[in-house]
Amino acid sequence: MSRPKDLHLKTRRKFETAIADLRRVLAAPDMDDRDRVLHHATWNLYSFMEEVARDVLKARTLIDVMRAAREASGPGRDGAEEELMKRLDHVVRNCGDAFDAAGFDQFLVFPDCAGCPADLETPCTIMRDICTYALDCFSYTRPRDPFAGMRRAGVFGILGSVGWIFDIPSAMPLALAALERDRRLEARGAIGFLEEYFNAREGVPVPDDIEQCLLNFAERTDNRSNATGALNILVEAGAISESHALSVIDDWKERHPWA
């Protein structure tokens, strides 16, 4: 199958056309130059994200294409899913801007989100749909899936953005479980989620079990960047001092002299 030149040459001006292009490329794993064309088709969606954040049906269409990318195969598939994760996060942040502009300063409990004002129902619904998809990714499996770690890291990024508006009861256990598993990419995503979570709840003390989990992780992991990230969460939240964190890192360097 030859590369569709219209995708290679044109930047789409309508969301529906850009989505149709992307669906077509995702469904054609044997297309010539497929990774390059798929990259272009995915990036074509970037300019529509503010539009998507104002339209529930368009957001659901984007989530449906995200599912198609998750199931697809062939060259460029992993990169397309990664970029689409970023597009979903972009939509979430735009929806969050609507809450900020309205001066809404309380957390809605997912999934019911009771108490959402009527004039914020559209961004609330979009964020709830994206959050539902994101959580579904933790139970998703496919054979020989080298993208699994990156997918979960991306999902934690989305949940971190949603967490400025929503309380998501199942997200914290997922993050702590990721730290226990200590798989580099997934753990990095979990640390990013926890950082966003406590930044959004400035002044809220870190619960003892979470503090201990982060300290244990920082001492146990063999990844210095992740260890430092875990400790920074505790320092920024006021749970431990900078000198305590530096002491933990010094001990870590003694155990990992070649890291």
Any idea which residue has 């210095």 for tokens?
A: 224
Q: Which domain holds residue 79?
A: 5-169
Any idea which residue has 């599912």 for tokens?
A: 67
Q: Indicate the pTM of the whole model.
A: 0.92
Please check the confidence at residue 259 and state whether its pLDDT lies above 80. no
What are the pLDDT digits (tens) for 94-133? Answer: 999 999 999 999 999 999 999 999 999 999 999 999 999 9
Band (2; pLDDT cuts 50, 70, 90): very low
pLDDT of residue 256: 86
CA distance 240 to 237: 8
Q: Is residue 253 part of a domain?
A: no
What whole-number percentage of the chain has pLDDT above 90? 92
Please check the confidence at residue 4 and state whether its pLDDT lies above 80. no
Q: Is residue 105 part of a domain?
A: yes
Identify which of 16, 11, 29 has the alpha carbon closest to the alpha carbon of residue 69: 29
Q: Is residue 195 part of a domain?
A: no
CB proximity list for 115: less than 8 A, separation 6 or greater: 106, 108
What whole-number percentage of the chain has pLDDT above 70? 95
* Residue 224, token pair as written in the block: 């210095």
Q: Is residue 225 part of a domain?
A: no
Q: Is residue 209 part of a domain?
A: no
Q: HSE-up of 199 (CA within 13 Å, CB side)?
A: 13
Nearest 5°: CA angle at 59, between 55 and 65? 150
CA distance 188 to 175: 10
What are the pLDDT digits (tens) for 161-185? Answer: 999 999 999 999 999 999 999 999 9
Q: Is residue 114 part of a domain?
A: yes
Nearest 5°: CA angle at 222, between 145 and 146? 5
Q: What is the mean pLDDT of residues 182-194?
A: 97
Domain count, the chain: 1
